[in-house]
Amino acid sequence: MAFRWLRRRRIYLSYYIRPLPRAKKAALIALLCLAIVLIFTVMVLNQLRPIIMQLAKSKVNETVLRTINKVVEREITKGALEYNKLITLQKDINGNITALETNMAMVNRLQTQISQGIVDELENSIISELRIPIGSAIGGELFSGRGPKITVKILSVTYIKTKLENTFIDAGINQTRHKIILNVSVDVEVFVPGHRDVIETIETQVEVAETIIVGRVPNFYTDFGQGS
């Protein structure tokens, strides 16, 4: 009888799981939330990478053009780019212009000064770091200019060439406008987070001086050389 009683007796086993302390639970939830945010951020950034690169190139282009204009304007203000300092008009006994002679020493010096001025400005630590709000990459007025900023850096100027050239334009009866144009080409190495360093080329033209030539334009004029 005792044996049967033992067989029929049911044995219940209970397990007790000790709850996590409140501090550990909060830390675990915080880590989980952080992981979700990081995964979401990586996914968003991967989607926005082409847009961010385009915005970075646009920002670099804007900065380089503004720097070029600033350096050229500085030389104009100093009077270094006055027409009469760059060009000498040769005339015959009747006052007719027979030739345009270029002051090559002045031109070469100016081209070098402008090139060096652009390099110095672009490699300045204040100008070289550009910040783009990530909201601008998302688009729309609501997000534009908002959110954390991505830092884009102009690492160095890898190539620069400045060259003056002549342009003649009809300015009316027996008149010709002679313009002196500065051509600038700059290659800059740019760092964009999440991308390999890229070389961006920026080219522009700036009118630096002009005059009106009355009478026939002479067939002979000296060019400005190969640039520097």
The predicted-structure confidence for 161-196, as pLDDT tens digits, reads as follows 998 888 888 877 878 888 889 999 999 888 877 777
What's the whole-number mean pLDDT along residues 40-52? 73
- This prediction has a pTM of 0.70
Please check whether residue 114 lies inside any domain of the structure: yes
Please check whether residue 137 lies inside any domain of the structure: yes
Residue 184: name the closest of 156, 213, 164, 170 by CA: 164
Say how many domains are in the chain: 1
Please check whether residue 135 lies inside any domain of the structure: yes
Please check whether residue 9 lies inside any domain of the structure: no
- Strand locations in 75-148, DSSP E? 87-91, 97-102, 129-133
Calculate what percentage of the chain has a pLDDT beyond 70.
75
Please check whether residue 2 lies inside any domain of the structure: no
Q: Which residues pair with 164 in a beta bridge?
A: 182
**How many other C-beta atoms lie within 10 A of the C-beta of residue 102?**
18
Full residue range of the structural domain in which residue 208 is found: 52-217
The predicted-structure confidence for 111-155, as pLDDT tens digits, reads as follows 999 999 999 888 875 667 777 777 666 665 655 667 677 777 888
- More confident site: 60 or 18: 60
Please check whether residue 56 lies inside any domain of the structure: yes
